[in-house]
Structure formats: C-alpha cells, structure tokens
Amino acid sequence: MGPAAKFVTPGVLFILTLVFGFWLSRSGKPYPALIFNIHKLIALAAAVVTAIQTFNALRIGETQPILIGLLIVMGLCVVAPFVTGALMSAKKATGRAMLTIHRIAPLLAVLAALGTLYLLGGRA
C-alpha cells in the first residue's frame, strides 16, 4: 500500500466530520446531542486513524527536519478543533474566535498532511 492509500480511511472520516460539523452549525445552539456526538466521535476516530497511519508511514526511512515541522503543525491543528469544539459546546466561549479557529485549523491540518504525504511519497 502506498502512502496515499493509507490515508483514504482518515480522509473519508475527515470528510464525514466536516459534513456533521456544518450540519451542527446550521442546527445552532443548543446543539442536538445526536449530531454533536456523531461529529465528535467521528472526529476522534479520524484523529486516531490519522495518527496511527502517520506513525506507520514514518517508521520507513529517515526523518527530515521539515517533516518533523509539518508533523508538529499537523498535531497542533488536530488538537485545536478538539479544544475549541469543547469550549464552544460548554457555552464558555462566545464570539467568533473559537469558530474561526475551529474552521481554519482543519484546513491547515490538511495542508500539513498533504505536505507530509509529498515528503513521504515514493518511499512508504
């Protein structure tokens, strides 16, 4: 299995997370428990599967500093939606900042993942 194929499952889970995320936003507060939990659990599954596949892919070959940098960015951008998501649902954080971070972090995570795949390309 090439490096890209390993990221099909995380990719599908990620897209499902987005779909439920937008659905959740449109439903508004108080968030419907079912959609909220599905969004949260699929997001968790996506993060776990991505981490496993990334570590598997990394075992092959030497690591370059730029790859480590991308992985740190990816890690932070995967943790950020969990923190902001929890804050938004706990009603503590009002205002748009949390939602903005919640939107931008996944985008950056995807960019970092693509960069990682590019660097790993051909050797995993």
43 CB-near residues (< 8 Å, 6+ apart): 17, 81, 82, 85
Whichever of 2 and 32 has its CB closer to ligand HEM, that residue is: 32
Determine, following the binding rule CB under 6 A, whether residue 43 of this chain makes contact with ligand HEM. yes
Contact with ligand HEM (CB under 6 A): which of 6, 7, 102, 124? 102
Whichever of 57 and 78 has its CB closer to ligand HEM, that residue is: 78
Whichever of 6 and 40 has its CB closer to ligand HEM, that residue is: 40
Determine, following the binding rule CB under 6 A, whether residue 112 of this chain makes contact with ligand HEM. no
Instruction: Give the binding-site size for ligand HEM (rule: CB under 6 A).
Output: 23
Tokens of 84: 């902001």
Q: Which of 54, 47, 42 is nearest to 115 (CA)?
A: 54
Cα atoms in the 13 Å half-sphere on the side-chain side of 8? 4
